Chain A
Amino acid sequence: MDRDGQVLAVVVGVVAACALLVWLAQIPLKYNIRNLKVRWPTTVLTALAFTLVVALLTVMLAFVNGMKALSESSGRDNNVLILSEGSTDESFSNLGFSDIGDIERQPGVLRDGDQPLCSHETYIVINQPIEDPPPGRQKRRFLQVRGLDDAQVSARVHGMELFPGGEWFSAGGVRKLAELDEDFSAIEVVVGEGIARELGQDRRPEKIQGATNTARIDVGDVVSLGNRRFVVVGVMKSAGTTFDSEVWAKRSVVGPLFGKESYTSLVLQTDDARAAESLANYFNTEYTKASVQAYTEPVYFRSLGETNRQFLVGIIFVAAVMAVGGVMGVMNTMFAAISQRIRDIGVMRLLGFQRWRILVSFLVESILISILGGILGCALGYLANGWTANSILSSGPGGGKFVVLRLVVDGGILGIGMLVSLSMGIVGGLLPAWSGMRKRPLESMK
Chain B
Amino acid sequence: MKYITLIFKNLRRNLIRSGLTAVGVMVLVLVVTLIWSILSFLDKATAEKADNLKGIVSERWTLPSQMPFSYANSLSDGSAREPQDARPTDAMTWQFFGGSLDPKTRSFENSLFAFALEPAKLLTMMDELDNLPAAQRDEFSLTVKKLEETRQGVIVGKTRLAKINRRVGDRITLYGLNYRNLELELEIVGLFPEGRYDSSAAMNRDYLNAALDAYPLTHNGEQHPLALKSLNLVWLRFPDRKVFEEVGQQIAESPFYSSPAVKLETASSGISTFLTAYRDLVWGMRWLLAPAILVTLSLVISNAIGISVRERRMEMAILKVLGFRPNQVLGLILGEALMLGGVAGFLSSTLTYLVVNFWMNGVRFPIAFFGVFYVPDAALWWGLAIGLGTAFVGSLLPAWSTRRVRVIDVFSKVS
Contacts and interface: CB of A to CB of B under 8 A. Distances in A.
Interface of A: 41-42, 45-46, 48-49, 52-53, 55-56, 59-60, 63, 84-88, 91-92, 94, 124-127, 138-142, 226, 258-260, 291, 306-307, 310-311, 314, 318, 321-322, 324-326, 328-329, 331-333, 335-336, 339-340, 389-392, 395-400, 402
11 contacts: A138-B276, A142-B273, A310-B365, A324-B23, A325-B27, A326-B296, A328-B23, A329-B303, A333-B303, A397-B199, A398-B64
B60 interface: yes
Contacts of A56: 288-289, 292-293
B314 interface: no
Contacts of A94: 180, 225
A59 B273 contact: no
Given A56-B289, A391-B277, A325 B296 contact: yes
Given A56-B289, A259-B260, A391-B278, A332 B299 contact: no
Contacts of A321: 27-28, 30-31
A306 to B, nearest CB: 8
Interface in B260-288: 260, 263, 269, 272-274, 276-281, 284, 288
Interface stretch (B13-21, B73-81, B203-211, B325-333): B13-21
A75 B7 CA distance: 63
Contacts of B306: 41-42, 45
Contacts of A399: 64
Contact of B28 (A307, A310, A325, A336): A325
B311 interface: yes
Interface in B158-195: 175-178, 180-181
A140 B276 contact: yes
A124 B59 CA distance: 13
A52 B295 contact: yes
Given A94-B225, A310-B365, A390-B280, A259 B24 contact: no
A116 to B, nearest CB: 25
B76 to A, nearest CB: 21
Contacts of B23: 324, 328
B5 interface: no
Interface residues of B, number: 63
Nearest to B229: A259
Contact of A42 (B16, B293, B307): B307
B273 A332 contact: no
A63 B263 CA distance: 34
A127 B278 contact: no
A322 B293 contact: yes
Nearest to B28: A325
B214 to A, nearest CB: 20
A322 B28 contact: yes
Contact of B61 (A126, A322, A332, A333): A126
Given A56-B288, A325-B297, A42 B277 contact: no
Contacts of B21: 328, 332
Contact of B59 (A48, A85, A92, A259): A259
B63 A125 contact: yes
Given A53-B296, A332-B303, A325 B24 contact: yes
A340 B24 CA distance: 22
A45 B298 CA distance: 10
Nearest to B35: A318
Contact of A391 (B260, B281, B293): B281
B123 interface: no
A329 B306 CA distance: 12
